Structure 1
Amino acid sequence: MNAASALRLILLAAIWGASFLFMRVSVPALGPVIPAVGRIVVGAVFLALVALLLRRVALQRAHWRHYLILGLFNTALPFLCYGFAARQLTASVMSILNATAPIWGALVAAVWLGVKPTLKSACGLLLGVVGVTVLVGLDAATSQPGAGWAIMAVLSATLCYAIASSYSKRHAADVPPFAAAHGSMWAASFTILPLLAWQPAPVVPTPLAVCAVLALGVFCTGMAYLLYFRLVQDIGPASALTVTFLIPVFGVLWGVLLLGETIGHNTLAGAALVLVGTALATGFDPRRVWRG
């Protein structure tokens, strides 16, 4: 991996790590639905502008099912789940639990794609479960009333990512990556917009909350997608997976520096177990990633 790709990888991790910060700022003011809807719609508009600027091929109607499935499982459902979780959990805890996505991915791939886990992968899955248990069982943020449902929401979001990942592997050759990202974002927009009718009460947005939603849409969704697909193109999907291990670092960092969150030894221990378990479950080897 050259210096330019390494810089893009760190920038992507910093941006995606900041998404948990922006959710913690916007959700208490706007509720869980509006930030999710705003993030997706803003991200879709941003990618549409990029498509026009780069003169990308228009979205094909024949692939609408592909866009819909990806939009539902890779965007709409996870963003909603994180919106509900952000009412209760800290940015630090959410970013650490987010790292369970590859662990779910190994399980889904085993069930759906018939990819049998190795002994190393099985140990990684078990270690990841232990890490989540340590984090959930001992962290002060997870002992509050309603935290259990919030934790389930985050784990449901990462399961959705795993389903979308396995689906993408089976249909990767059908649609180019940028078209898949762009089309799925619009599909997610049309899927999630009707939920605004169930917004509990009229909400008067604060300027800070509006800025947080815009940042989620432009930076954490639109720009992040572009960075991610550039990395996949330059260094391959396996090396791009490194971002999974860096996101919790930035998620915790932004939470501590900007939200005043505190982390204990159990948080660090749980995070370490989750990340090591993820590395084992996915066969991640940092020597192969950074070589060259």
Structure 2
Amino acid sequence: MDSASLVRLLCLAAIWGGSFLFMRIGAPVLGAAWLVEWRVGLAALFLAAVGWYLRKRLRLGEHWRHYLILGFFNSALPFLLFSYAAQTLSASMLSILNATAPIWGAVIVALWTRTVLAGKTLAGLLLGIAGVALLVGFDQVALRPGAPLAIAAALGAAFCYGIASTYARNARSVDAFSNAHGSMWAATLLMLPVVPFFPMSGTPDGAVIASVIALGVVCSGIAYLLYFRLIQDLGAPSALTVTFLIPMFGVLWGHLFLSEVIGWYTLTGSLVVIVGTALVTGFSPRRLYFSKADQHV
């Protein structure tokens, strides 16, 4: 991995880690549905402008069903569940629970293909469960009213990402940019009938408005562009290493800007979840380094 790709990877992790901070600021005021509608709508407009500049067509007539499925499982539903959870949970806890997505993905693939999980994968799954249990069992945030349902919602959002990744691997070939652009428009349409049932809880101030813009343009639009560039330069498996860095930034931003407590259980739970995810995905920094080095021989 060259220095430019490393910088892009760290920037992407910092941006996606920051999304939980922005959700934590915006969700209690706007409510879950309005926050998501503004997020995906702004992202769709931003990506439309980029698509116009790059002259990339969506081919809606051919791929509209694909965009709807991807928009539902990769954007609309998980964003809604995370935004609901953000009204109760801390940004730190949300970012750590998000890291279980690859674990859910492995379980879904095993069930879909009717294959038995390998020993290392099963060990990673158990570690992931233990990490979440450790975090939930000792973090005082879990004692807040409504916290159990919020935790279930956050894990459900991570489960949705597992479904989306499994579907994307088995769906017809559509380029990554079109997947993001089309799915954001689909998510925007899918959220429209939901919004009336989730009224805003207050009047947004400057911080909330800035958080919404950051979620839509930066955490969704710009982040996808960075992610696609990493996939192009490094390949999908290497780009997915961002999963291991997001909790670090999620915990850091929550501590710096929201004064969230970083306890031993936060660090330990995060580490256990990340190790479990690494075992499930088969990630190895040594193998990653040598595989990239071999490509330049």
Band of TM-score, shorter chain: over 0.9
Identical counterparts, % of pairs: 54
User: Residues of 1 paired with 2:102 and 2:253: CA distance?
Assistant: 23
Match of 1:198 in 2: 197
CA-to-aligned-CA distance 1:17-63 (integer Å, 9 cap, x gap):
00001011111221111111110000000000000011112433121
User: Residues of 1 paired with 2:58 and 2:23: CA distance?
Assistant: 32
| Counterpart secondary structure, 2:199 | coil
Counterpart of 1:155, as a letter, is L
Counterpart of 1:237, as a letter, is A
User: Residues of 2 paired with 1:275 and 1:202: CA distance?
Assistant: 35
User: Residues of 1 paired with 2:25 and 2:7: CA distance?
Assistant: 27
Q: Does residue 289 of the first structure (1) align with residue 288 of the second (2)?
A: yes
Counterpart of 1:175, as a letter, is V
User: Residues of 1 paired with 2:253 and 2:276: CA distance?
Assistant: 24
Greater shift, 114-123 or 263-272, is seen at 114-123
Match of 1:245 in 2: 244
Compute the displacement of 1:201 (Å): 5.3
Match of 1:122 in 2: 122
Counterpart of 1:266, as a letter, is Y
- 8 Å contact kept, 2:24–2:87: yes
- 8 Å contact kept, 1:59–1:183: no
Match of 2:166 in 1: 166
User: Residues of 1 paired with 2:104 and 2:50: CA distance?
Assistant: 32
Counterpart of 1:109, as a letter, is V
| Counterpart secondary structure, 1:194 | coil
Counterpart of 2:184, as a letter, is M
Q: Residues 110-259 of structure 1 correspond to what in structure 2 (within 5 A)?
A: 110-171=110-171, 173-200=172-199, 203-259=202-258
Compute the displacement of 1:195 (Å): 1.6
CA-to-aligned-CA distance 1:235-257 (integer Å, 9 cap, x gap):
01111111000000000010011
Query: Residues 224 and 143 of structure 1: is their aligned pair in 2 closer, same or farther, counting only changes over 3 Å?
Result: same
Match of 2:24 in 1: 24
- 8 Å contact kept, 1:137–1:143: no
User: Residues of 1 paired with 2:200 and 2:3: CA distance?
Assistant: 49
TM-score (norm 2): 0.95
- Alignment root-mean-square deviation, CA: 1.3
CA-to-aligned-CA distance 1:156-212 (integer Å, 9 cap, x gap):
0000000000000001x5211111111111011100022221133574221211110
CA-to-aligned-CA distance 1:99-144 (integer Å, 9 cap, x gap):
0000001100101134542111110001111111111111111122
- 8 Å contact kept, 2:67–2:183: yes
Q: For structure 1, which runs of at least 5 residues remain unmatched after alignment?
A: none
Q: Does residue 260 of the first structure (1) align with residue 229 of the second (2)?
A: no
Greater shift, 156-165 or 136-145, is seen at 136-145
TM-score (norm 1): 0.96
User: Residues of 1 paired with 2:182 and 2:98: CA distance?
Assistant: 24
Match of 1:84 in 2: 84
Match of 1:71 in 2: 71
User: Residues of 1 paired with 2:70 and 2:19: CA distance?
Assistant: 20
Counterpart of 2:170, as a letter, is R
- 8 Å contact kept, 1:113–1:166: no
Counterpart of 1:181, as a letter, is A
- 8 Å contact kept, 1:89–1:150: yes
